[in-house]
Amino acid sequence: MSIPRTNYGYSRGHRAVEILAISFVLALLVGFSVRIALAIDTWRSGLALVATASVAYVATDVLSGVVHWAGDTIGNERIPFVGPNFIRPFREHHVDQKAITRHDFIETNGNNCIIVAMPLALAYVLMPATLGFGFFASSLVALMALFVLATNQFHKWAHADAPPAFARRLQRWGVILPPRHHDIHHAAPHDKHYCITVGWMNPLLNRIHFFRVAEALIARVNPAWLYIEERTRLSATGAAPGAGRTPAPRP
């Protein structure tokens, strides 16, 4: 299998790690599905599972925003392993938004599986067989892992010129990341709307200045950790919203 060519130096070694992580995470999710299906036996437990899934979806949206903001804003590409494989793709995505649409399933979703693999494994080991707090806490972790796995696929579809018909329908319904909503992040200087699972939490996080407060706290600890050169440059040049973007049809 040939490795998709990207401009951030996607390596064979990292692809191998991604394949292992995807296989591991999918196997654990199948295991969770069996355990949950065997345990949920009343309408009350089913309703509790639906509530857990709803909390997990919202929490994943927030988590996607935090990770996205961190990739854009903290550290540099020279940090071993994390820099070239996680930070650089986030920053080069601002330059070539369509690159993600050229990634196959492994390259699109591998990094997210690497992130969730260990928490998911721990939740699987600790999950009790009977219903209760521990069961639903483990289910919450499993559902978040599932939604984290889906997040970059939703992100990819938000940039695709022709996503699958069912994805366009979900985008129109607002249950996965809509392209027009995500366009706000890609308007210079790329400093808002970081959440990329569905985007529901972006207005709230913008309103409370969540990420600006986080940056202020980091600046107090170690300003050298912050990477805001791109944002400062775009703001100083008065770049128009959407500058540098390739227009694409939006549903």
Q: What is the pLDDT of residues 154-176, one digit of tens each?
A: 999 999 999 999 999 999 999 99
Supply the pLDDT for residue 113.
95
Confidence of residue 7 (pLDDT cuts 50, 70, 90): very low
* % of the chain with per-residue pLDDT over 70: 87
**Does the pLDDT of residue 242 top 80, yes or no?**
no
Mean pLDDT, residues 173-183: 96
233 vs 135, residue with greater confidence: 135
27 vs 102, residue with greater confidence: 27
- Domain housing 128: 13-237
**Does the pLDDT of residue 132 top 80, yes or no?**
yes
**Does the pLDDT of residue 228 top 80, yes or no?**
no
Domain annotation covers residue 145:
yes
Supply the pLDDT for residue 92.
81
Supply the pLDDT for residue 1.
38
Domain annotation covers residue 45:
yes
**Does the pLDDT of residue 55 top 70, yes or no?**
yes
Domain annotation covers residue 89:
yes
**Does the pLDDT of residue 178 top 60, yes or no?**
yes
**Does the pLDDT of residue 251 top 60, yes or no?**
no
Supply the pLDDT for residue 78.
78
Domain annotation covers residue 108:
yes
Q: What is the pTM of this model?
A: 0.85
Domain annotation covers residue 4:
no
**Does the pLDDT of residue 231 top 90, yes or no?**
no
Domain annotation covers residue 117:
yes
Mean pLDDT, residues 197-226: 95
Domain annotation covers residue 251:
no
Domain annotation covers residue 163:
yes
Supply the pLDDT for residue 240.
42
**Does the pLDDT of residue 83 top 80, yes or no?**
no
Rounded Cα gap, residues 66 and 69, in angstroms? 5
Mean pLDDT, residues 91-109: 87
Number of domains composing the chain: 1
Mean pLDDT of the chain: 87
**In the numeric block, which tokens belong to residue 93?**
């995505």
Supply the pLDDT for residue 43.
95
**Does the pLDDT of residue 12 top 90, yes or no?**
no
